[in-house]
Amino acid sequence: MTNCPLLLDEASPPRVREVVAASSTLRPEIQALRAAAVLSVVLFHLWPGRLPGGYVGVDVFFAISGFLITAHLARELRRTGRIDLPAFWARRVRRLLPVALLVLTLTAIAVYLVVPSPFWGQFLGEIAASAVYAENWVLAADAVDYLAADNLASPVQHYWSLSVEEQFYLVWPVLLLLSVLIGRLLARRRSGLSDGIGVDGILRVVLAVVLAISLAWSVIDTALDPASAYFVTTTRVWEFAAGGLLAMIAPVPFAGAAAVRTLVQWVGWAMIGSALVFFTAATPFPGVAALLPVAGTLAVIWAGDPRHPFSPGGLLARRPVQYLGGISYSLYLWHWPLIVVAPFALGGARTTPVNVGLLALAAALAAVSKPLVEDAALRRGAWVDRRPRFTFLLMGIGMAVVVAVASIGIAVSDAAEASSERLVQSLVDDGTPCLGAAALLSPAQPCVNADLDGTLVPAPAAVPDDTGGAYACYDQQPTADLSSSCTLGSTRADALRVALVGDSHAAMLIPGLRDRLDALDWRLDTYVGRGCVWGSVPVTQTDSPCHARVAAVQQRLEESAYDLVITTARRLVDVPAAGPDAASGSYAEAWDSLAPVGTRVVALADNPYVTDAAGACVVAAGTDVAAASSCSVPRDIALQWKDPLPDAVERAQGGAHLVDLTDAYCGPDTCAMVNGHVVTYRDLHHITATYSRTIAPYLVDDITRWLGTQRPSG
């Protein structure tokens, strides 16, 4: 990698000389902002209810980075006439990677030691992604992936912001270099315009354009897809650009009256504080809301230290505040892995004393790693020859080591999943007695198969991903074109034409039905989508994209005149405004609209829901079948939310049929997490594909008995 100099012909203008002076001095207000930012994030993670908007601390960091890095690059441009890209990137590597890779390595070891194997695939995969600074894109993908949306937060989830920042460091100097080149070319074509002025002007214009485009996209994407928008780089770039624009327009603190600067500083802190206190998890973010903490940060930087009697500068300059700002990076890195790993290590939920201890431990680790790792890597003569290529070599080695350490566990997890899948296939294909739902539904009770002693399927490591291909024909982002639909089963012209309609709970039926379609002589078309329950009027949020999709499905069903439609839906516990009565009426009306074309409708009552505690019990049990089989939820708790489907069947005028398999999940008093040596649930309300395959025979038998020998006429 070579240097990329761009020489400038004119002397530096006065404002740029001010940047040099301002950037060469440690500014206490910026250290105080860092201290406030990291403290807000840490307290939010430990006690989210006490500081609900603590997540905006990340945005404070982004604005600070944009200001400082842009000022630094502008200073280098004006002082040396170039930006030495390799040297800049090497400095960033030495500043950020040593302690980041250390935390990742130790976190991976902790995962191996105390975290149950079902979480290895996700946790170690995110550790590998964090090592190459792609964690934010992994989380963004998971946020829009229905199968991953309920993933437990990994111990390195906080690396998403570091990934965004590293991507900024990679692209930003290149953007400024290109801007300078354009500025010089434009300046040469304009008589009487110096290169220096052209450079300043073009940088300001470019930063303003980047800010405007990214902010607009942030607002749009936050409205359309808030879960993904939170993590992606494109919705955050404007925060760096805002800081950079301040560095180009007002690189030094405002030179006005101390009283005015004091007022501006207090207003800035008030803006940040109001975001910390009044923002919540329900606040659409980043979008427009992020303007508040970012603008507050820039106001504090612009005001500087007014040295006024009523200024907070004296308090902010105190040693504890400045020290906390100094260790903010290390503290940010250490605190989250401790928070996530602690419950696994301690065997229970975090309590207030545990949280206090974790805070103290994170601070202690930061206090040690700051001088011994962060500072040592930056000191001349320490850690490595300062030539960039050696820095990049060590960076590559460090990243490779972390990825390799994580990959071992990922491989183990993948192997366990593959082995589990083979065992499941064998057990199901062989019609193993008393397997899964058969243990509860077989006529002869109790149903016990001694040959299954010691067997637990799917394997614990495979449970989170045991979907059996159920979502290969699933609309992750609901649309009206129905392009995600699939046709499965019999190809005979006289096959029974069946449609499966609904949300993710309908999709769960696919693995079990698919195995039986040919034998039944059924041809199955799937119309399943994320959150899209099938009703005549909206039963989800009014702006849900499901509305257009459900209308398209309804039209397709009426035009196709299927012999049979099978449907089910979640209990709508997340849409309380809809209410079960409104939902059941909507369902019944949609079903009745198919009666004129001769379509019969079968509704499968929704499965019971389980609790976090029951899920944690199964995870803690590991491969201990007896311990896992003891994990359960009281039946009244599992069924506490009313299912609209049975009432809908009663209200339907077209003769809909209800299949209620609640007893396939629950005994008289409890709903077990493991039935017939099969893990029933992969999260709080989705069943494993393995269990779906053991339920399918009972679902199909009920339907075929109801249909009898007469097919629907139409």
pLDDT digits (tens, 9 = 90+) for 271-302: 999 999 999 988 999 999 999 999 999 999 99
Summarize pLDDT for 68-85 with one digit per residue, the tens.
Answer: 999 999 888 878 778 899
pLDDT digits (tens, 9 = 90+) for 596-641: 999 999 999 999 999 988 988 888 887 788 888 899 999 999 999 8
pLDDT above 50: residue 21: no
Under 8 Å between Cβ of 210 and 245: no
**Contact present, 62 and 243 (Cβ < 8 Å):** yes
- Report whether 65 contacts 165 (CB < 8 A): yes
At 37-70, the pLDDT tens digits run: 999 999 999 999 899 999 999 999 999 999 999 9
* pLDDT for residue 28: 92
Predicted local distance difference test score (pLDDT) of residue 116: 83
Give whole-number Cα distances, 348 to 345, 446, 616, 662, in Å.
8, 34, 9, 30
In whole angstroms, what is the distance from residue 453 CA to residue 626 CA? 9
**Whole-Å CA distances, 64 to 220, 504, 547:** 24, 42, 42
Query: Whole-structure pTM over 0.95, yes or no?
Result: no
Higher pLDDT, 194 or 234: 234
pLDDT of 487 over the 90 cut: yes
673 vs 456, more confident: 673
Helix (H) or strand (E) holding 328: helix 328-346
The C-alpha atoms of residue 176 and residue 202 are separated, in whole angstroms, by 9
HSE of 107, CA atoms in CB hemisphere, 13 A: 33
Higher pLDDT, 432 or 399: 399
Give the per-residue pLDDT at 15: 42
Per-residue confidence (pLDDT) for residue 406, from 0 to 100: 93
- 98: number of CA atoms within 13 Å, CB side? 20
Cis peptide before 446 (omega within 30 of 0): yes
Query: Which of 581 and 450 is assigned the larger pLDDT?
Result: 450
Arithmetic mean of pLDDT, 452-469? 84
Look at residue 17 and tell me whether its pLDDT is greater than 90.
Answer: no
DSSP H or E segment with residue 565? strand 564-568
What percent of the chain is modeled with pLDDT above 90?
55
Does residue 394 surpass a pLDDT of 50?
yes
What pLDDT shows up at residue 161?
96
Asked if residue 185 has pLDDT above 70, the reply is: yes
- How confident is the model over 655-668, as pLDDT tens digits? 899 999 999 999 99
385: confidence class by pLDDT, cuts 50, 70, 90: low
pLDDT of residue 81: 74
Q: Please check the confidence at residue 337 and state whether its pLDDT lies above 70.
A: yes
pLDDT-derived band of residue 347, with 50, 70 and 90 as boundaries? confident
Q: What is the dotted CATH code of the domain comprising 469-606+645-660?
A: 3.40.50
The average pLDDT across 651-656 equals: 86
Tell me: pLDDT of 125 over 80.
Answer: yes
Least confident span in 342-356, 413-427, 658-672: 413-427
Residue 253 has pLDDT above 90, yes or no: no
For the chain, give every residue range classified as CATH 3.40.50: 469-606+645-660
Please give the mean pLDDT across all residues of the chain.
86
DSSP SS3 for 384: coil
Residue, of 683 and 313, whose pLDDT is higher:
683
Please classify residue 204 by burial: count the beta carbons closer than 10 Å to its beta carbon, then call 0-12 exposed, 13-18 middle and 19+ buried: middle
pLDDT of the residue at 12: 38
